[in-house]
């Protein structure tokens, strides 16, 4: 058995057998370019030793980029660009129309009764329409993220809820009656709570944008990963169809209520049903992930994502301070999951430097 000495930082270590030397290279104590001498021979790099061979895994199967980048029908970049343009122009036209209705109502050119009047309290009410259209577009963006990244779709959920709270704030501003007397009435207190919820949710959504945990390495084999992505693509397509159905039913129901004097709008319209279906989709994705991976770290993280979504769904259906508390709780949970995931994740570069063994 060959006895090998290693020259490392002007010191000589050894002797080692070829198997022990290979272990030192794996541990990062030496590299294949480190000089060594076998049985009194000349100094050569470890990689040049005749008996030194690094066993490499079989190369991955040939893959097509489309398997991982294709999002599905009406979820591609071209469709997204067109829908974005449509949403922007729709928001602009909606804002102008709503502002015109407010002006007509304030000048008594038109007369409305019932809850519909709540949509025309002040000019701030006109912001409700463009925000609603932009929220619908953000929901579409959420569906687009599902085939490529489950964690990114969770970040989109927090972005949507952040905009929902902002919309409620604008609606609340239109109902506040300011007087010369300083007092904290119920509406103003609620507005302050909503601003606090907005800050927490905004901070959470920005953290998900900054810290893209979808870049973490996956332990799945290529073929398994392709099947997993394909399954998520099918779920996204089903969710897209459901999205359009819920939108049509919600808008139709709101129009009927509008003509009956019950056209006031709140966050429950569309989003309560949409988040219900979204939870079912998230659970299905989680179960599929269980099928293909036994990585407890990723499983626990994704389960936490689903829990945060469930809390958001309950908050959307709640009212008053209870909803605000649930929004804040979901945001804090989302931040905690993200921070814990990043804290315990070891990137490949750090894994290579992990606790080198002492050379002896």
Own/partner pairs, 137-145, CB within 8 angstroms, 24+ separation: 137/83, 137/84, 137/87, 138/163, 139/243, 139/271, 139/274, 140/80, 140/83, 140/240, 140/243, 141/80, 142/278, 143/75, 143/236, 143/239, 143/240, 143/243, 144/71, 144/75, 144/80, 144/236
335: tokens are 């931040």
pTM over 0.85: no
Three-state secondary structure of the chain: CCCEEEEECCEEEEEECHHHHHHHHHHCCCCCCCEEEECCCCCEEHHHCCCCCCCCCCCCCCCCCHHHHCCCCCCCHHHHHHHHHHHHHHHHHHHHHHHHHHHHHHCCCCCCCHHHHHHHCCHHHHHHHHHHHHHHHHHHHHHHHCCCCHHHHHHHHHHHHHHHHHHHHHHHHCCCCCCCCCCCCHHHHHHHHHHHHHHHHHHHHHHHHHCCHHHCCCCCCHHHHHHHHHHHHHHHHHHHHHHHHHHHHHHHHHHHHHHCCCCCCCCCCCHHHHHHHHHHHHHHHHHHHHHHCCCHHHHHHHHHHHHHHHHHHHHHHCCHHHHHHHHHHHHHHHHHHHHHHHHHCCCHHHHHCCCCCCCC
Which residue, 250, 287, 275, 272, is CA-closest to 154? Answer: 275
Q: What is the pLDDT of residue 273?
A: 94
What's the first-to-final CA gap in the chain, in angstroms?
A: 19
* Mean pLDDT, residues 228-242: 92
Nearest CA among 315, 257, 303 for reference residue 112:
257
Task: State yes or no: pLDDT of 75 exceeds 80.
Answer: yes
Instruction: To the nearest 10°, report the CA torsion of 239, 161, 115, 98.
Output: -90
In DSSP terms, which residues pair with 199 in a beta bridge?
Answer: none
Q: What angle do CA 154, 155, 158 make, to 5 degrees?
A: 95
Query: Looking at residue 357, what is its pLDDT?
Result: 41
Q: pLDDT per residue over 100-139, tens digit each?
A: 988 998 888 888 777 777 778 788 888 888 988 999 999 9
pLDDT exceeds cutoff 80 at 244: yes
Q: In this model, does residue 242 exceed pLDDT 80?
A: yes
Q: Give residue-wise pLDDT tens across range 28-48.
A: 888 888 999 988 888 999 888
- Alpha-carbon Rg for the chain, nearest whole angstrom, is 29
- The pLDDT of residue 228 is 86
The span from the CA of 149 to the CA of 132, in Å, is 25
Q: Which residue has the higher pLDDT, 144 or 125?
A: 144
Q: Which residues contact 287 (CB under 8 A, 6 or more apart)?
A: none
Task: Give the chain's largest Cα–Cα span.
Answer: 104
Percent of the chain with pLDDT strictly greater than 90? 37
CA 319 to chain centroid, in Å, comes to 25
15 against 179, higher pLDDT: 15
Q: Which fold has domain 4-56?
A: Dna Ligase; domain 1 (3.30.1490)
Mean pLDDT of 278-285: 92
CB contact at 8 A, 7 and 41? no
- List, for residues 186-198, the tens digit of each pLDDT value: 778 888 999 999 9
Residue 178: per-residue pLDDT? 60
| Overall size of the chain counted in residues | 360
Question: In the chain, which segments carry CATH 3.30.1490?
Answer: 4-56
Q: What was the pLDDT predicted at 333? A: 95
Q: Is it the case that residue 79 has pLDDT exceeding 80?
A: yes
- Summarised one tens digit per residue, pLDDT across range 153-192 is 889 999 999 999 998 888 877 777 665 565 566 778 888 9
């Amino acid at each position: 058995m060959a006895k090998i000495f290693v020259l490392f930082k002007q010191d000589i270590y050894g002797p080692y057998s070829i198997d022990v030397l290979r272990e030192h290279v794996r541990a990062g104590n030496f590299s294949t370019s480190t000089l060594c001498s076998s049985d009194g021979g000349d100094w050569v790099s470890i990689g040049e030793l005749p008996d030194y061979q690094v066993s490499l895994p079989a190369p991955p199967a040939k893959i097509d980029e489309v398997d991982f980048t294709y999002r599905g029908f009406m979820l591609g970049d071209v469709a997204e660009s067109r829908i974005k343009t449509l949403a922007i122009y729709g928001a602009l036209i909606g804002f102008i129309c709503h502002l015109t209705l407010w002006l007509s109502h304030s000048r008594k050119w038109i007369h409305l009764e019932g809850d519909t009047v709540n949509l025309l309290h002040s000019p701030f009410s006109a912001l409700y329409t463009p925000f609603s259209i932009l929220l619908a577009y953000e929901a579409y963006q959420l569906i687009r993220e599902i085939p490529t990244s489950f964690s990114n779709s969770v970040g989109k959920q927090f972005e949507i809820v952040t905009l929902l709270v902002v919309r409620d704030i604008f609606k609340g501003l239109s109902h506040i009656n300011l007087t010369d007397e300083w007092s904290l009435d119920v509406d103003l207190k609620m507005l302050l709570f909503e601003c606090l919820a907005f800050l927490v949710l905004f901070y959470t959504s920005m953290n998900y944008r900054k810290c893209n945990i979808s870049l973490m390495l996956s332990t799945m084999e290529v073929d398994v990963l392709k099947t997993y992505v394909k399954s998520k693509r099918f779920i996204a397509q089903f969710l897209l169809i459901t999205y359009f159905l819920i939108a049509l039913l919600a808008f139709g129901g709101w129009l009927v209520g509008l003509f009956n004097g019950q056209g006031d709008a709140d966050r429950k319209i569309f989003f309560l049903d949409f988040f219900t279906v979204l939870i079912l989709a998230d659970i299905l994705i989680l179960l599929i992930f269980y099928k293909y991976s036994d990585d407890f770290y990723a499983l626990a993280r994704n389960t936490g994502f689903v829990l945060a979504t469930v809390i958001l769904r309950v908050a959307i259906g709640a009212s008053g301070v209870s909803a605000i508390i649930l929004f804040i709780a979901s945001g804090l949970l989302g931040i905690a999951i993200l921070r814990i995931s990043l804290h315990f994740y070891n990137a490949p570069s750090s894994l290579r430097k992990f606790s080198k063994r002492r050379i002896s």
